[in-house]
A and B are shown apart, each in its own frame.
Chain A
Amino acid sequence: MKLVLKKTASLIITLFIVSLLAFLAFQIIPGDPTTKILGTNASPEKVQALRAQLGLDRPVLLRYWDWLVSFLKGDFGTSYNYLRPVGSLLADKLPVTIALTLLSFVMTVVISIPLGILAGRVRSQAADHAGVVLNQVIMAVPPFFFGILSCYLFGIVLKWFQPGNYISLSDSVAGGISYLLLPALSLALPRIAMTVRMLRGSIREELTHNYVYTAQARGMSPGKILIRHVLKNAMIPVVTFLAVSAAEIMTGTIIIEQVFTIPGIGRLLVSSIGNRDFPVVQAIVVLLAAWIMIVNFIADMLNHWMDPRLAGM
């Protein structure tokens, strides 16, 4: 309980710092939203009036404080570009990105853990080498390239789906999910390869520990030793890695959504950065940071549950 409180406090402080940095960053980087809205030929009076209307003429820290208070109340501000509340903009896009992230993360876990166990147990050197080479190839290819390849192969050649013709989750959950399968797999593939490699190494290392010989000396079969003893130990570093992967998958959606023309926050973020639509960008950055921190918090908790030695730390 003490640990949960400690970690929660640390999570809140980190989120506060990230939100402040995100806010300040957009005050420093070049580009004025009023120029984007009014165009470069607008008169200084008009620009000044709009700055006052948007509150941009007030001191930065005051604006941050107002923004933070509103953010905590669920009011993320109004988009300069769409002239709509950021909350309503995100409400349309966020479920798509979350669905894509979760689908990709589930694929990573469900595929990589059995494969990692298999790779950790395989005795044949030839099979092991083949696995390592295949793994390295998959790891080296970026997700967007898998995305482009799968769009071409499954969309254009095999015509299994129509690239760009995204079916909204609100129209059809099954249709939406099936459209998200390939982008999710493209995002997951390098992560799967990395997790398999990590789990393989972790299992092999654990198999050399004395407690494995002790279990053998008690008459336990190799399969039971793997499941009852080795796996929990081997999974400890993998859980941390999977948390990092979950965070990276979420940020990876920004590009993959462009490749598959998926109307998630990735596309909204890219267009908002271009338009200097700060309220939208700030809200997305803080939400992404919150996701990363929550996932790491869960991983920390899982690791504490799995490894009692961490309890004293």
Chain B
Amino acid sequence: MSLLEVNNLRVHFHDAAPDRFAVDGVSFSMEKGDILGLVGESGTGKTVTSMCIAGLLPRWKADTEGSITLDGTEIFDCTQEELNKILGREMSVVFQEPMTSFNPVYRIGRQVGESLYVHERGLSRAEKKDRVLKAMKKAGLQEPQEVYRKYPHELSGGMLQRAMIAAAIVTSPKLLIADEITTALDVTIQARILDQLKKLNRESGMAILFISHDLHVVNRLCKSVIVMQRGKIVESGRTEDVFSSPQHAYTKQLVAAIPSRGRFDE
């Protein structure tokens, strides 16, 4: 049984035209320890797909069809309470904007440890703090004790994104959904974050679904890749194969459009 199985996923927003699907028949699977890239231009349905997997797409906003199973649990059949037990424990999500993803009025330490507050109520304060500090270290934050006491506005974008990753891994989830997490960061910080994600994947076997429109970044991190266009998967396979010899016209366009004229820096 795969860790994540997405079968024939279709999403239709209530305010869209009847024949316009944000996600249209998307199917793929991920095994434990996989790093899968989901690429495509803005508006191709990458984030909507990830929101469906995480059960975060409001049901009053869109109709969904198909099936998503995480470790055998059908996400679409879950009640909100059941979903809340999975989110932050079995599956974590990191969003694009680290500055706004943190609550500005609470300290970083408290927010990084929030999944422990939700899912592991039995832990003492000291145990929680210890787990938070360890997660911060794993996410590549230097001086975690210092960062623990800081407020979001006192940290740089790179540090905040690492803190977001720490918050996502504090419960050792099986799947991490990283939605454009390096987009708002400069190239040096991007590289460090990607290295950290690789290390986490190697050490803990945590699967990563990495969503990005930056092909360089995906090439550097992901073992396999899915290319989406207008809500559909147009190409998928090993990252190296897809980017070195793209088959679909859209993938060819994407590869050709990157600034280094289709060549990837290693």
Task: List residues of chain A with CB under 8 Å of any chain B CB.
Answer: 209-211, 213-221, 224, 229, 232-233, 236, 306-309
CA distance A214 to B103 in the complex (A): 9
Instruction: Determine whether the beta carbon of B104 is less than 8 Å from that of A214.
Output: no
Instruction: Determine whether the beta carbon of B84 is less than 8 Å from that of A217.
Output: no
Q: Which of B80, B102, B118, B119 has the most CB of A within 10 A?
A: B118
CA distance A214 to B163 in the complex (A): 13
Give the size of the chain B interface in residues (CB under 8 angstroms).
30
Q: Which of B56, B103, B164 contacts A233 (CB 8 A)?
A: B103
Instruction: Determine whether the beta carbon of B104 is less than 8 Å from that of A217.
Output: no
Pairs across A and B, CB under 8 Å, 19 listed: A210-B101, A211-B103, A213-B95, A214-B93, A214-B101, A214-B167, A216-B56, A217-B54, A217-B87, A217-B88, A217-B93, A217-B95, A219-B83, A220-B84, A221-B81, A224-B118, A232-B106, A308-B104, A309-B151
Give chain A residues whose Cβ lies under 8 Å from the Cβ of B118. Answer: 218-220, 224
Instruction: Determine whether the beta carbon of A308 is less than 8 Å from that of B153.
Output: yes
Closest to B84 in A: A219
Q: Mark B40-71, 1 if CB is under 8 A from A, else 0.
A: 00000000000000101000000000000000
Instruction: Determine whether the beta carbon of B104 is less than 8 Å from that of A233.
Output: yes
Give chain A residues whose Cβ lies under 8 Å from the Cβ of B114. Answer: 215, 218, 220
Give chain B residues whose Cβ lies under 8 Å from the Cβ of A211. Answer: 100-104
Closest to B80 in A: A221
CA distance A229 to B100 in the complex (A): 13
Q: Mark B85-115, 1 if CB is under 8 A from A, else 0.
A: 1111100110101001111111000000011
Instruction: Determine whether the beta carbon of B87 is less than 8 Å from that of A233.
Output: no
Closest to A235 in B: B105
Give chain A residues whose Cβ lies under 8 Å from the Cβ of B95. Answer: 210, 213-214, 217
Given contacts A214-B101, A229-B103, 18 further A-B contacts (CB under 8 A): A210-B95, A210-B101, A211-B102, A213-B95, A213-B101, A214-B93, A214-B95, A214-B164, A214-B167, A216-B56, A219-B119, A220-B118, A221-B81, A224-B118, A229-B106, A233-B105, A309-B151, A309-B153
Give chain A residues whose Cβ lies under 8 Å from the Cβ of B153. Answer: 308-309
Instruction: Determine whether the beta carbon of B102 is less than 8 Å from that of A308.
Output: no
How many cross-chain pairs have Cβ atoms below 8 Å apart between A and B?
Answer: 75
Give chain A residues whose Cβ lies under 8 Å from the Cβ of B86. Answer: 219
Smallest Cβ distance from B257 to chain A, in angstroms? 29
Give chain B residues whose Cβ lies under 8 Å from the Cβ of A233. Answer: 103-105
CA distance A210 to B114 in the complex (A): 15
Instruction: Determine whether the beta carbon of B100 is less than 8 Å from that of A307.
Output: no
CA distance A224 to B105 in the complex (A): 16
Q: Which of B56, B105, B164 contacts A306 (CB 8 A)?
A: B105
Q: Which of B81, B88, B104 contacts A218 (CB 8 A)?
A: B88
Smallest Cβ distance from B183 to chain A, in angstroms? 14
Closest to A206 in B: B103
CA distance A307 to B88 in the complex (A): 26
CA distance A224 to B101 in the complex (A): 17
Give chain A residues whose Cβ lies under 8 Å from the Cβ of B100. Answer: 209-211
Closest to A210 in B: B100
Closest to A312 in B: B153
Give chain B residues whose Cβ lies under 8 Å from the Cβ of A210. Answer: 95, 97, 100-101
Give chain A residues whose Cβ lies under 8 Å from the Cβ of B102. Answer: 211, 214
Instruction: Determine whether the beta carbon of B115 is less than 8 Å from that of A219.
Output: yes
CA distance A210 to B94 in the complex (A): 11
Smallest Cβ distance from B39 to chain A, in angstroms? 22
Q: Which of A219, A221, A232, A309 contacts B89 (CB 8 A)?
A: A219
Q: Mark B175-193, 1 if CB is under 8 A from A, else 0.
A: 0000000000000000000
CA distance A210 to B153 in the complex (A): 15
Give chain A residues whose Cβ lies under 8 Å from the Cβ of B80. Answer: 221
Closest to B51 in A: A213
Closest to A308 in B: B151
Smallest Cβ distance from A118 to chain B, in angstroms? 20
CA distance A213 to B151 in the complex (A): 19
**Given A210-B95, A213-B56, A308-B153, is A221 in contact with B103 using a C-beta cutoff of 8 Å?**
no
Give chain B residues whose Cβ lies under 8 Å from the Cβ of A229. Answer: 103, 106
Closest to A215 in B: B114
CA distance A213 to B80 in the complex (A): 14
Smallest Cβ distance from B51 to chain A, in angstroms? 9
Smallest Cβ distance from B20 to chain A, in angstroms? 24
Smallest Cβ distance from B121 to chain A, in angstroms? 12
Give chain B residues whose Cβ lies under 8 Å from the Cβ of A308. Answer: 104-105, 151, 153
CA distance A306 to B105 in the complex (A): 7
Instruction: Determine whether the beta carbon of A217 is less than 8 Å from that of B92.
Output: yes
Give chain B residues whose Cβ lies under 8 Å from the Cβ of A215. Answer: 103, 114
CA distance A211 to B106 in the complex (A): 11
Smallest Cβ distance from A108 to chain B, in angstroms? 23
CA distance A221 to B82 in the complex (A): 11
